[in-house]
Amino acid sequence: MRFIKSKKPEKIDIPPGELVEQALSPVLQDNREKLKTLLTGCSDVVMRDFMLASHSPIPGLLLYFDGLVDKEQVALHLLQPLLTEQGGDSSENLSPDEMLKRVQYRILSISEVKTLSNIEELLHHISSGDTVLLIDGCSSGLVAGTRSWQSRGIQTPENEITIFGPKEGLSETLRFNTALLRRRIKSTNFKIENMVIGQLSKTDVALFYIEHIAPRSMVDELKKRLQAIDIDAVLDPRYLVEFVADEKRSIFTQEQYTEKPDRLCGYLLEGRIAIMVDGSPMALIVPVSFLEHLISPEDYYINYIAASLFRLLRLGAFAIALLLPSLYVAVITYHHEMIPTPLLLTLAATRQGVPFPAFVEALLLDLTFELLREAGLRLPRAVGPAVSIVGALIIGDAAVRAGLVSTPMVVIIAATGIASFASPSYNAGIIIRIVRFGFLIASGLLGFLGIMIALILLFVRMTSLSSLGLPYLAPVAPFNWQQLGDILIRRPWFNTKKRPYLEGMENQWRQGKSTGG
**Could you report the average pLDDT of every consecutive run of 10 residues in the chain (517 residues)?**
47 67 89 90 91 76 91 89 69 75 88 90 90 91 86 75 85 90 93 92 93 93 94 91 88 90 93 94 92 87 91 92 94 89 86 87 88 78 66 76 85 89 84 92 94 95 91 88 82 86 84 57
Residues 330 and 271 both lie in one domain: no
Residues 257 and 342 both lie in one domain: no
Residue 133: DSSP 8-state:
E
At residue 138, what is the residue type? C
- Which residues are CB-contacts of 503 (< 8 A; sequence separation ≥ 6)? 215, 217, 469
Range of the domain at 66: 16-144
Distance in angstroms (rounded) separating the CA atoms of residues 423 and 293 = 8
Residues 127 and 179 both lie in one domain: no
| E runs forming strands in 119-277 | 131-135, 141-144, 190-197, 203-210, 256-258, 273-277
| Cβ neighbourhood burial of 24 (10 Å; 0-12, 13-18, 19+) | buried
Please say which residue of 126, 144, 162 terminates a domain.
144
- Is 162 part of any domain? no
Please say which residue of 287, 317, 343 terminates a domain.
287
Residue 363: DSSP 8-state:
H
Residues 55 and 199 both lie in one domain: no
Structurally, how many domains does the chain consist of? 3
Residues 319 and 437 both lie in one domain: yes
Residues 23 and 116 both lie in one domain: yes
Residues 276 and 344 both lie in one domain: no
**What are the φ and ψ backbone dihedral angles of 274, each rounded to 5 degrees?**
-120, 150
| Prediction pTM value | 0.84
- Is 153 part of any domain? no
Residues 282 and 304 both lie in one domain: no
Nearest to 501 by CA among 465, 464, 471: 471
Burial 167-189 (b: 16+ CB within 10 A, else e): ebbbbbbbeebbebbeebbeeeb
- Is 104 part of any domain? yes
Residues 207 and 85 both lie in one domain: no
- Is 352 part of any domain? yes
Contacts 24+ apart (CB under 8 A), 157-163: 157/259, 157/260, 157/281, 159/259, 159/426, 160/258, 160/259, 160/260, 160/263, 160/297, 160/424, 162/260, 162/296, 162/297, 162/298, 162/301, 163/298
Instruction: Say what the pLDDT of residue 384 is.
Output: 65
14 membership: H or E segment, kind and range: none
Instruction: Say what the pLDDT of residue 11 is.
Output: 52
- Is 480 part of any domain? no
Ramachandran region of residue 24, left (φ > 0), alpha (ψ -120 to 50) or beta?
Answer: beta
Instruction: Say what the pLDDT of residue 2 is.
Output: 44
Please say which residue of 233, 266, 287 terminates a domain.
287
Residues 140 and 200 both lie in one domain: no
- Is 2 part of any domain? no
**What are the φ and ψ backbone dihedral angles of 496, each rounded to 5 degrees?**
-95, 85
At residue 372, what is the residue type? L
- Is 489 part of any domain? no
Residues 279 and 332 both lie in one domain: no
Distance in angstroms (rounded) separating the CA atoms of residues 17 and 5 = 28
- Is 481 part of any domain? no
Residues 454 and 341 both lie in one domain: yes
- Most distant pair of Cα atoms in the chain: their distance: 108
Q: Specify whether the CB–CB gap between 298 and 314 falls below 8 A.
A: no
Distance in angstroms (rounded) separating the CA atoms of residues 386 and 233 = 37
Distance in angstroms (rounded) separating the CA atoms of residues 443 and 450 = 5
Instruction: Say what the pLDDT of residue 4 is.
Output: 46
